[in-house]
Amino acid sequence: MSTDSTLHCTTTGETVRLAPVGAWTAAHSEALEQRLAAINPQISTARELAIDMAGVRELDTLGAWLLERLARGCIARKIQVQFLQLPERYRGLFDQVGRVNRRTVQRPVSKNKLLLGLERIGQYTITLQVEFVTFLEMLAALSFALVRVLGRPRTFRITSAAYHLYRVGWQAIPIMVLITFLIGCIIAQQGIFHFRKFDADAYVVDMVGILVLRELGVLIVSIMVAGRSGSAYTAELGSMKMREEIDALRMMGFDPVEVLILPRVVALVIALPILAFFGSMAALFGGGLVAWLYGGMSPEIFIARLREAVSVTHFEVGMIKAPFMALVVGLVACSEGLRVKGSAESLGLQTTNSVVKSIFLVIVLDGVFAVFFASIGM
């Protein structure tokens, strides 16, 4: 690379003669810009400017633009500009550069921060409303599909439902059992550790039993299902939407809700109680194991105390919640999936949304159930 890229400047009377030499390329931009700034005073007094291009060895868009910008500045100040000895090979480039940057765009003015904040709150509120309506719409569409299918049971997609049951139920068992087992262990360990101070280790069994059967078993499993299966539903339906598969279905006269969503939600509604049951059992097992190994309570005593501490009601409370959790997760996952637009980004966004929303709704629903069961004395 040469360092001889520069600009010679000679003044004769009112004519300034500029002779750019060497490589006028982006690699020398700093030197070129400095040089151009340096000759600016000389030009400002001139009436005519001649730019002799004979010495230019290399020229790229940047070089051409620098000269063009100089020429435009001069023309604006009523100085005549002439390009001399412009080599043929650069003519096209100069023509192109002569056409660009003729007008500047108005960048959108940023608004008042406070107003922007208020606007955002308003938009969120509307979005929230829209989302709630979408959820209800999906619930309604699913109910209609269910009624239709109940009327003609043969139209139910049993194969699809079985396949999804296998995926969200059977294949999920190991991870669900492992997680709930660990949760059971942790609760029992913490309980023993803290209850020991009051000489109340025996009540750990009550705590583990009630907590797991009423709340944690189903809640942990629901959250796991939302993350594992809900996101998968959203991604599947979303990619189908992206590839126009759903439009194709509709065009052939099928109802996508009946064909795609009903089997998925049904599979989830069947799978989640089963998973919650296995999860609760694993958590109790974990609790018992820790009580035995860490708390020194023999399994026989643990089981005997458990029998006293918990009743079928606790178990029922947990299990009743499970299908509703499944319904919420399934509905959110499917409606988010159908809201995917053409791009891959929107698929990712809706999948994230689906998981966040279904976990949030699962916890809210759990709270609602807690109030409900308390008021009916269960």
Partner 1 sequence: MSGGTPEIVIRISDLVVGFGNQLVLDHLSLEVRRGEILGLVGASGGGKSVLLRTIIGLVPKRQGRIEVMGVDRDTASPEQERAMERRWGVLFQQGALFSSLTILENIQFPMRESLHLPKTLLDELANAKLEMVGLSPEDGLKFPAELSGGMTKRAALARAIALDPEILFLDEPTSGLDPISAGEFDALIKTLQQTLNFTVFMVTHDLYSMQVQCDRIAALANGKVVALGPIAEVIESDHPWVKSYFQGKRARVITRATH
How many chain residues bind partner 1 (CB under 8 A)? 27
Tell me if 110 contacts partner 1 by CB under 8 A: no
Residues 265, 252: Cα–Cα separation, whole Å: 23
State the nearest-atom distance from the C-beta of 116 to partner 1, in Å. 18
Residues 143, 145: Cα–Cα separation, whole Å: 5
DSSP state, residue 87 = -
Tell me if 76 contacts partner 1 by CB under 8 A: no
Both structure tokens of 342: 């053409």
Tell me if 60 contacts partner 1 by CB under 8 A: yes
Which listed range, 57-65, 132-140, 152-160, 178-186, lies at the site for partner 1 (CB under 8 A)?
57-65
Tell me if 109 contacts partner 1 by CB under 8 A: no
Which listed range, 27-35, 126-134, 189-197, 225-233, lies at the site for partner 1 (CB under 8 A)?
27-35
Which listed range, 54-62, 138-146, 179-187, 228-236, lies at the site for partner 1 (CB under 8 A)?
54-62
Tell me if 11 contacts partner 1 by CB under 8 A: no
At residue 91, what are phi and psi to the nearest 5 degrees?
-60, -45
Which listed range, 75-83, 101-109, 299-307, 331-339, lies at the site for partner 1 (CB under 8 A)?
101-109
Tell me if 25 contacts partner 1 by CB under 8 A: yes
Residues 21, 55: Cα–Cα separation, whole Å: 4
Task: Tell me which residue of 98, 61, 93 sits closest to 81, measured CA to CA.
Answer: 98
Give residue for tokens 């209850």.
195
Tell me if 33 contacts partner 1 by CB under 8 A: yes
Structural contact between residues 207 and 283, judged by C-beta atoms closer than 8 angstroms: no
Structural contact between residues 7 and 39, judged by C-beta atoms closer than 8 angstroms: yes
Residues 3, 1: Cα–Cα separation, whole Å: 7
Among 21, 39, 93, 146, interactor with partner 1 by CB under 8 A = 93
Structural contact between residues 25 and 59, judged by C-beta atoms closer than 8 angstroms: yes
Interaction site with partner 1 (CB under 8 A): 25-27, 29-30, 33, 60-62, 65, 69, 89, 92-93, 95-97, 99-101, 103-105, 107-108, 343, 345
